Amino acid sequence: MARALLIVDVQNDFTEGGALGVTEGAALAERISAFLGRHAEEYDLIVGSRDWHHGDDDNGGHFAGPEGPDFVDTWPVHCVAGTPGAEYHPELDTEPIDVDVFKGQGTPDYSAFQARTESGVPLPEILTEHRVHSVDIVGIATDHCVRASALDARAAGIDVAVYEDLVAGVDDERSARALDDIRAAGGHVDRSDMDEGLANPGGAQL
């Protein structure tokens, strides 16, 4: 049985200067990289997920129309496939990532468990192939894609730990509720060992 790390959506559009930047997202990318430097070898599989939206439609209502976004179900245009905004943040060390998966390709996906590899293999199939029984989750955003990914992992019977100091959210209150939802589903909310010598990544203060 294997242990995996899931790095959720640490992309340019979800960090400072991006279409949906979270507070101190660049610092979070750096912090996750430092965590990888300490712990990458402890994981049997490291997966990076990315939003990868169509640029010529509303992706199933995910992109807001003329009425503008509500920042709950509809959003400004972001993470369009092949654009700089959809790329990993440059402070994220992508070298340890074994598998890249892409979500939201025409649909309003949030969970990495809805994502697929470039060749079309779904993430759940990859985890089953590698006999993954536990997943640690870091990334963006606590109250949206991190929450959805953690809950889907629990629904699949996978042990889940979310590192609260290695995630950042859009909204503080919703992020706190998201972590409560993960706990209620049987997941764990822990802290990494990265507190010493590194800046707090900001985002939701939990």
Q: Which are the catalytic amino acids?
A: 9, 103, 145
Q: Phi/psi class of residue 79: alpha, beta or left (left: φ > 0; alpha: ψ in -120 to 50)?
A: left
DSSP-assigned states of every residue in 133-146: EEEEEEEE-IIIII
CB 12 within 8 A of CB 52: no
Angle between helices 147-155 and 172-184 (to 10 degrees): 10
User: CA nearest 93: which of 6, 23, 25, 35?
Assistant: 35
Please name the residue that has the structure tokens 């654009």: 83
Please name the residue that has the structure tokens 């599989």: 45
